[in-house]
Amino acid sequence: MALELGLYVIATECREHGRGYLDVAAAALAGRADVIQLRAKDAPARAALEIALRLREMISSRPERRLFLVNDRVDIAMAAGADGVHLGQDDMPIAAARALLGPYAVIGVSAGSVEEALSAERGGADYLGVGAIFFTATKPDIGEPVGLDTLREIKRRCGIPVVAIGGIGKDNLEEVLGAGADGIAVISAVTEAADMEGAVREFRERIDSFRRREERQA
C-alpha cells in the first residue's frame, strides 16, 4: 500500500503559546493532515503513553484515514497501537523496531545525508525524514541545514518516499516540493500560528494546488 505523506504534522508542546500535544493534533486532524506524529521527548513514559492513547482515540474516531506515528519511542508506539514509529539516527535499529512492531508497521528514519538515507533504505525503512532543509529554531543545535541539493540527490538515489522537514513555511513550500519531496513535515509553522487549524488548512491547500499543477503539466 502506497504511503500518503503529503502533509505531516508533528504534534508537540508549545508552552509559549499554551498549546499541548492534543491541541496540535486536533488542529492537524481538522485541517486534513495526512500524518500526525506524536513527539513527546520530554514526557515520562506513563504520561507519553496516556497522550498517545488519547491521540489514537481521536484519530480512530475520524472517518478519514490518517497515519499515526510516534517519534523515537517504539514501546509507546506498540502500547498505544500506533501505525508505526519515526526513528532518529541514534534510536533503536530499524531491524529491532521491525521485529517488535511487525511487518506491517510504518517505520520512518531521519536522514541528514545521502549516506544515511541509503543506509536507512537498505535497512528496511518505509520512508525518510530528510532535514533540516533550512535553519529551524525548533532544533537550533542540529548543525548546518542540508539544503535542497541534498534533498534532490536523496530523492534521485532512493526508492522510498521522502518527507522534508526543517524551516519549511508558506514562502518556501513550493521550492521544497519542486525539489522532489513527497511530503512536508511542519512543527512551529503550526504550533506557533495564531490559528493552528487555519495554518494546517493552508498547507493542505498549497500542497494540493502544487500537485494539481504538476499533474496538468505532466
Task: Say how far apart CA 10 and CA 21 lie, in whole Å.
Answer: 9
Nearest CA to 21 among 165, 205, 190?
A: 190
Active-site pick, 32, 110, 155, 204: 110
User: Please, are residues 53 and 80 in contact by the beta-carbon 8 Å criterion?
Assistant: yes
Q: Which three cell numbers stand for residue 174?
A: 513550493
Q: Is 188 an annotated catalytic residue?
A: no
Long-range pairs of 55-61 with CB within 8 A, sequence gap ≥ 24? 55/11, 55/21, 55/22, 55/25, 55/80, 56/80, 56/81, 56/82, 58/22, 58/25, 58/26, 58/29, 59/25, 59/29
Q: Is 61 an annotated catalytic residue?
A: no
Active-site pick, 39, 98, 155, 204: 39
Q: Is 139 an annotated catalytic residue?
A: yes
Q: Which three cell numbers stand for residue 212?
A: 494539481
Active-site pick, 139, 152, 201, 206: 139
Catalytic residue numbers read 39, 110, 139
